[in-house]
Amino acid sequence: SNAWVGYGVVMIAVGEADLLNISVLPAFQRQGIGTAFLQHLMARAKARQATRMLLEVRATNQAALALYAHQGFIE
């Protein structure tokens, strides 16, 4: 059976992408799924001529901060 383990949402407009949310169920975290979602969303944005991606993340969300830093995002 097919089951959802997470999702990702990005808004793309005029050369810029805004990452709105990435979420993975706790039981499936730390398995590369969030990274796969992010890489997919980045590729989709690039295919639509977005030259940069912006996002907001809580300073206390260490897992998200590590994910974004590993993918080249800067503060």
Active site residues: 56, 68
Residue 40 CA to residue 26 CA, distance in Å, equals 20
Q: Cα torsion at 14, 18, 19, 21 (round to 10°)? A: -120
